[in-house]
Structure 1
Amino acid sequence: MSDENRQHPKDPLHGVTLETIVRTLQERHGWEEMGFRVRVRCFNENPSIKSSLTFLRKTPWAREKIEAWYVRELKRYGKPPSPPQPDA
């Protein structure tokens, strides 16, 4: 998605951080399912939120797949559950 589309309030990703997307999908599906759907090392080998965010921020095609998956879930299930809060 272009930055122009993301800024529009009707965009389902408007105001949603990449961390929220990754945490929500990880909580709902787990790393194994994420690695199956988007075949990248950061989900399959020693997965962590930090490594996933680093990779996705540098890799537009993978980020687009994760964002599209999240949007499909929003349409299918409505608002996803709140992701777990990171340890302080």
Structure 2
Amino acid sequence: MSSAPPPTSAQPRNPLHGVTLEALVTALVARYGWAGLGERMPVRCFTSDPSIPSSLKFLRKTPWAREQVEALYLFMLREERRAGR
């Protein structure tokens, strides 16, 4: 008998747990705007006729870009925490 891994819902210290990709992109656009997001991540989905649906489609197919978006989101959260202290 093999023991089952612990449930994935037990991630109290993971700031990305339960946050959808759409919520990430929406928060980043609200914070930086499309132009600012395109400067931080120069990919076409943010610089050429950007929209949430087209960005989600690209990010779901492109793991390296999704990792960059997640990293930028975590950076944004750290900045907000520092500003709040």
Asked if 2 retains the 8 angstrom alpha-carbon contact of 1:6 and 1:13, the reply is: no
The structure with higher relative contact order (CA 8 Å, sep 6+) is 1
- CA-CA distance at 1:17 after TM superposition: 0.5
Q: In the alignment, what sits opposite 2:65?
A: 62
1:19–1:49 contact (8 Å) kept in structure 2: yes
Q: Say which SS state the counterpart of residue 65 (structure 2) adopts.
A: helix
The two structures have a TM-score, normalised by structure 2, of 0.79
Matched, 1:53 2:66: no
- What letter is aligned with 2:47? N
Q: Percent identity?
A: 54
TM-score (norm 1): 0.77
How many residue pairs align between the two structures?
74
Contact 1:21 1:67 in 2 (8 A): yes
Instruction: Provide, for residues 20-60 of structure 1, a one-character-per-residue CA deviation record: whole Å limited to 9, x for no partner.
Output: 00001101111111111111111011100000000001101
Q: What does 1:11-26 correspond to in 2, within 5 Å?
A: 11-26=14-29
* Aligned equivalents of 1:61, 1:33: Cα separation in 2: 19
**Structure 1 spans left out of the alignment, 5+ residues:** 79-88
Give the RMSD, CA atoms, in angstroms. Answer: 1.8
